[in-house]
């Protein structure tokens, strides 16, 4: 049976067209196999693609013989087997001609041997003959292997025929390389688009958990890692605490023994730095980790020099001063390969965006906080006090609820400042603010409304409740004086209180009466004065 053929020249033109066509890889390989088979007159053409994750060659395309397709398609042959077949002793004109009887095919796994018997003619094709050509990229790296069988002529190839086969295969390799580069470029473009989308979503976000959740999801979707975790350093304990995850369940990560900065610092060595990320083999990581650190076993491992095999990949998150905020930890790459430089660079950019958003979110959160809080004592400020007081008065008069307003003023604070210095004066203000907060009940609030002037809003407060609050303040100030700070002995305060709606039903009058009660207390030398109830 003969096959319709096209000339080798037209085959070269067709493969060149495929080089420009940018078809998807399966369609490209089918077209390459068909073109080579038809132009050079081979009934069976198989393409074995190199799988770097497994260091083997998988038969992905079989053109022509259906029996060969059923036998070969999907089979994978280890790289070591191909080392035997692509031996220098079989090399001829850039191809590898393996004569019948020169290798033990049974020891090399599944092979297709067409039916037929050997002819007496030394130039006749033997059913156990084999002919291979390596598909290499422009750097000489092996992309795959082309196998042709069952020549229509029934004869072994001449040197000229081998030259044409090698030339067509070289062009096919260019087409294969271009297809792989196009796929990689598309993945990189998708990663950049996802990066831009994540960057826009986390801009202005103040929740650390939400920032990191979106970054983890973006890394998983854009860079094809099954598992991503982002953790922040707890400044008190030094523990690296998971805040968000994609692929893993955050609750399960939090149940594991937390690692500390001290434990992971040995991994963050410049020896393992690649494109701003720290990449270590399992053996390198295990050698530097304390024995008690629990190691997550990667699931998507491969074999061979480019395969992911329980590697560790950590990206640090730093603030503007270089301090370690946390880490992003990724695992289980879907392609089972150690990430390329482009992939690591994209991962570093994701981490940079996360760091910037964390710092910006912290600053934005601080700005929002300072809109209603005093920057020194961290108490609510005068702006918040006026708003809260108006609201409490409105509720009290409308619903018949009561609350107490207490105004506090530090005694002789100017002298304390002059005697001990402004830094000690600031320490005294902060200490007094902390005392107020500790003295209040949960529904109550403390405010700093002036230099050394404070206010308290006490919900549902009787005079007895107010007396108890002030008594707690006095007790805590005495404890503070015993703490050894030189200014603590001079720290005392006077208080004035007025109740709403009993003595006033508008905020301005209520404040004025409480303030007058405060100065009555100062003049009389007592700690607390109440405005008499109407």
Given a contact cutoff of 8 angstroms between Cβ atoms, the answer to whether 405 and 529 are in contact is no
CA distance 496 to 511: 10
DSSP category for residue 102: S
Closest by Cα among 144, 71, 135 to 109: 71
CA distance 314 to 229: 10
Q: How far is CA 125 from the centre of its chain?
A: 57
The helix (H) or strand (E) run that includes residue 145 is strand 142-151
Residue 69: CA count within 13 A, CB half-sphere:
9
Ramachandran area for residue 499 (φ above 0: left; ψ -120 to 50: alpha; else beta) = beta
Q: Is 120 tagged catalytic? A: no
Catalytic residue among 452, 465, 490, 520: 452
Is 183 in a helix, a strand, or coil?
helix
Strand residue runs (E) in 319-391: 324-333
CA distance 104 to 113: 13
By CB atoms closer than 10 A (0-12, 13-18, 19+), residue 362 is middle
CA distance 141 to 135: 8
Given a contact cutoff of 8 angstroms between Cβ atoms, the answer to whether 11 and 166 are in contact is no
CA distance 357 to 475: 44
Strand residue runs (E) in 282-385: 312-318, 324-333
Given a contact cutoff of 8 angstroms between Cβ atoms, the answer to whether 44 and 149 are in contact is yes
CA distance 349 to 236: 28
The helix (H) or strand (E) run that includes residue 188 is helix 159-202
CA distance 483 to 481: 5
The helix (H) or strand (E) run that includes residue 431 is helix 422-439
For the chain, the helix, strand and coil percentages under 3-state DSSP, each to the nearest 5: 45, 25, 30
**Residues with active-site annotation:** 452
């Amino acid at each position: 049976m003969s096959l319709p053929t096209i000339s080798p020249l037209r085959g070269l033109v067709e493969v060149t067209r495929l080089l420009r066509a940018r078809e998807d890889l399966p369609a490209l390989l089918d077209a390459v196999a068909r073109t080579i088979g038809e132009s050079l007159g081979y009934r069976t053409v198989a393409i074995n693609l190199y799988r770097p994750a497994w260091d083997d060659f998988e038969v992905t395309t079989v053109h022509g013989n259906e029996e060969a397709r059923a036998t070969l398609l999907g089979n994978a042959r280890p790289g070591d087997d191909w080392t035997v077949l692509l031996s220098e002793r079989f090399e001829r004109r850039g191809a590898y001609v393996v004569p019948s009887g020169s290798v033990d095919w049974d020891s090399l796994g599944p092979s297709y041997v067409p039916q037929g018997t050997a002819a007496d003619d030394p130039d006749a094709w033997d059913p156990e003959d084999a002919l291979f050509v390596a598909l290499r990229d422009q750097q000489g790296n092996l992309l795959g292997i082309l196998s042709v069988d069952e020549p229509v002529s029934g004869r072994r190839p001449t040197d000229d025929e081998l030259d044409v086969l090698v030339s067509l295969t070289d062009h096919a390799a260019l087409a294969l390389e271009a297809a792989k580069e196009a796929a990689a470029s598309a993945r990189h473009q998708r990663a950049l688009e996802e990066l831009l989308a994540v960057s826009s979503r986390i801009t202005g976000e103040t929740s650390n958990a939400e920032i990191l959740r979106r970054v983890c999801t973006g890394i998983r979707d854009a860079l094809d890692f099954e598992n991503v975790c982002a953790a922040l350093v707890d400044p008190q304990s030094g523990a690296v605490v998971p805040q968000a995850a994609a692929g893993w369940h955050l609750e399960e990560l939090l149940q594991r023994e937390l690692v500390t900065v001290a434990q992971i610092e040995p991994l963050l060595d410049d020896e393992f730095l690649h494109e701003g990320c720290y990449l270590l083999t399992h053996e390198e990581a295990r050698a530097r980790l304390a024995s008690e650190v629990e190691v997550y076993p990667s699931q998507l491992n491969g074999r061979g020099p480019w395969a992911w095999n329980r590697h560790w990949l950590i990206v640090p998150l730093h603030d503007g001063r270089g301090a370690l905020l946390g880490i992003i930890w990724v695992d289980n790459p879907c392609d089972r390969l150690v990430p390329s430089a482009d992939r690591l660079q994209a991962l570093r950019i994701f981490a940079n965006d996360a760091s910037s958003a964390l710092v910006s979110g912290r600053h934005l959160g601080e700005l929002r906080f300072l809109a209603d809080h005093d920057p020194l004592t961290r108490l609510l400020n005068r702006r918040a006090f006026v708003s809260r007081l108006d609201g409490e008065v409105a509720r009290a008069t409308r619903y018949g609820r009561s609350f107490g307003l207490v105004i506090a003023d530090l005694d002789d604070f100017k002298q304390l400042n002059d005697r001990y210095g402004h830094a000690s004066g600031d320490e005294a203000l902060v200490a007094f603010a902390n005392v107020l907060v500790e003295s209040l009940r949960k529904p109550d609030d403390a405010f700093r409304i002036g230099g050394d002037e404070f206010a308290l809003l006490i919900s549902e407060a009787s005079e007895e409740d107010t007396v108890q609050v002030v008594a707690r303040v006095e007790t805590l100030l005495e404890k503070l004086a015993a703490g050894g700070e030189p200014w603590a002995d001079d720290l005392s305060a006077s208080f004035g209180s007025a109740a709403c709606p009993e003595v006033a039903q508008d905020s301005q009058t209520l404040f004025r009466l409480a303030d007058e009660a405060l100065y009555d207390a100062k003049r009389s030398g007592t700690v607390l004065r109440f405005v008499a109830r109407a």
